[in-house]
Structure 1
């Protein structure tokens, strides 16, 4: 009897262990095919505000009712921006403000590098209605050979005594009225803006009674390729001008903008560079519990890197042309990309990015200067499990 009971107890114990093992197998989750999370797409708009010299400015950048103040290096950022089109405006004391339109879509994070020039110089007409002003163009820091001296000479009777004339250099074709330069048809060989001048009055009702002279002191070699235009009724038309050595004289018969175009050409090509993230991957394929992934930090470039130096005036002019077209100076910025997902056991993810790089080359008279403009940053996240790739953006 004792042996029977003992054997029966042993059989019950074995059966119990077998049942318990089966129960654990039924409750254990299948980590081989867990659905990986999908990372929500987030956007930012960043950039840098500089002077013509390439140095960062203390500025305010507004965007559709919100605003940001630049850091000590002139950089700014708008985080968590929804897809859409935005109007950005950069303003700084003593500078001429600028606006642009930026479109955010897909996984793109636009970068706006904006250069603000100084406000114009104001002169007051003498008792006889004459006036004189001397202005020197701004240049990229270290590229002083690219400066262009210009003067305004208004004869007696040009305006009423005491009236104010404002002389403002024009540097960039991205100004509103300068857009016409890209498509204007002219008899001259010049096609790229070397320098320009806007003359205006503080009194909108004032007009020039007599033509004034705008004189520019440029290198004689480039002067031979110059043509002059003026902005009239929304289009650029040929202006009266003369060239003598390195002196270019333009007849200004009304308050408007005047431009000197030269034979320089600008070409561009687009590539991209990898953007590094820290950390850039998270592996929970065989972990012991959920893994939180809050964010990743990254660095990218803002601005334009011009490696050439102005060894002569022609090269210095070309450096200015590239800087005005693409922005002055370059800096490295850091950002934080929000991820905010939880990786269950059996999943993993990584993050990578690319930044658009546009190489601009300005060429004239056998010389060339190139610069790299750093633009939109694209971010891609990818998640997967033990068997297949999951959601990505």
Structure 2
């Protein structure tokens, strides 16, 4: 019987953590278990799970392993545990696909599409120069863009802050026209009273969606915010299980969910979340400002999920100042971007081959990424 015999973890720039799981038959699976800015904490959680539950076990009983890792501990959920489970789950699916010589999506029911649409980030953390950036990305073939709506906002801010967000979206819309979709990310920076004002003000320029209009701990405010606009509401990157998503499905305010394949329990859990969403007529657009293993995992779920709408990807994203999503791949052409779509990897498992020697080389660097701490003019901490 095939058994898991070893694992290794590699923290690599710009801010990623890769997991390598090896079996006694030589099969190797890769996962990407990380919370951005908390890689060392997640590393420890992965080690605890691997040492306690996975070593010397068969890699193929993925559902049972998932249930054991989740339910085996009295305390459950949250970003650290669920991200650790996610990366392990990705690696197990990678091994299983390679064992059966099939892409993961074939093991999950088969393809529902031939290719998948992606969107491209523009504008940076404090969005600027968005018009020119939008035009350049459209010239490269992208048909959907996303940008941050604002920098930091006060709980109640002035009309100028609202107008500046409107002006940025208008600038992009005027540059790219009505045939390009533009997602607008509030990034949890906006308190409820400002979110109500912003969604109404942005509506004339028809964004594809507004993302995370409030922090997930304030999801109870989403129905009221949705009542102020016809713009579709998206959220979910900081929600970690199907239980976290129950209330947003039941209150009917959300149109697009964005669970992260490296945070929300991996392929196993996100596939279940997506099926729940389908029952509520909610689309799927997985969150993925991360590396190649996370993106490959997203694509495997997207490929076999009928309500998958569009995929985030981190090529040229403003966080990737040292390394980019394709740098760690043996074959960077595996993600071929063409006319706003990406081809689906057809190789077994997650469909990618990582450059292991380069990963080992880069893991020797000192990687210590943390998100910035922003402050308001009075010195109090602002939401980033």
The two structures have a TM-score, normalised by structure 1, of: 0.25
- Structure number with higher relative contact order (C-alpha < 8 Å, ≥ 6 residues apart): 2
Higher helix share: 2
The two structures have a TM-score, normalised by structure 2, of: 0.26
Higher strand share: 1
